[in-house]
Amino acid sequence: MDYQKIACWGDSQTYGARTYGCYPLYLTQLLNRDTHYVWQALNLSTNGHTARDLWFRLGPELMGMHDVHIACVLIGANDVGEETPLDIFEEYLQQVLDALRIHGFRVTFCGEIPPVWPDGHAFFPAETVERRAIYNESLRKIVRDRPSTVLVELGDLSADCYTDPVHFNESGNLAVARAFADAIREH
């Protein structure tokens, strides 16, 4: 059997909080349908995590990982909401992406921080929209500077893809999965 495994790291947006599905589930479904491989997604996400949290848990998770050569990373919404200092976010993200390459991942698909849709939520007020743009500018530069990392653009997600300011509904999960699947197939 020809197969591929994808490790998906992130926060509640990857986990699938507020929905039954999650983008890694739909990503596997799309790739199984559109390629000749059997795909397995490993959803290694944790609700509420920041780039810092991912950095701390990545080492132990990588030590137990074998026969996985593709990674998807979707992190940063909580950094935007918690106002993580930008330089700290950048350093943690750079080191996460470098650790994946050092561990032998052939390619990492890094999603931009998806749009935030303010609706009165305490952690995601209107100013998070502008902050997200600043963090995404840094994220894009970090991805550009790493030859084995591919940016996955997610800026086209509408408010109809969300259950609240940051969490996807099933349509949102599927839209994110499509963006990652397109990037994987085009790589």
pLDDT tens digits for range 137-186:
999 999 999 999 999 999 899 999 999 999 999 999 999 999 999 999 99
Q: What is the DSSP letter of 16?
A: T
The pLDDT confidence band at residue 1, using thresholds 50, 70 and 90, is confident
Question: Are residues 39 and 103 in contact, defined by beta-carbon separation less than 8 angstroms?
Answer: no
**Side chain identity at 127, as an amino acid letter?**
E
Please tell me the predicted confidence (pLDDT) of residue 123. Answer: 81
Tell me the H-state helices in 50-119.
Answer: 51-63, 77-82, 86-102
The pLDDT confidence band at residue 86, using thresholds 50, 70 and 90, is very high
Q: Can you give the pTM of this predicted structure?
A: 0.97
Question: Are residues 168 and 162 in contact, defined by beta-carbon separation less than 8 angstroms?
Answer: yes
Average pLDDT over residues 105-115: 98
**Which CATH number characterizes residue 182's domain?**
3.40.50.1110
d(CA 93, CA 103): 15
3-class DSSP state of 5: strand
Please tell me the predicted confidence (pLDDT) of residue 178. Answer: 98
Please tell me the predicted confidence (pLDDT) of residue 166. Answer: 95
d(CA 108, CA 100): 8
Tell me the H-state helices in 16-168.
Answer: 23-34, 51-63, 77-82, 86-102, 127-144
Show the domain range for 13: 3-186
Domains identified in the chain, total number: 1
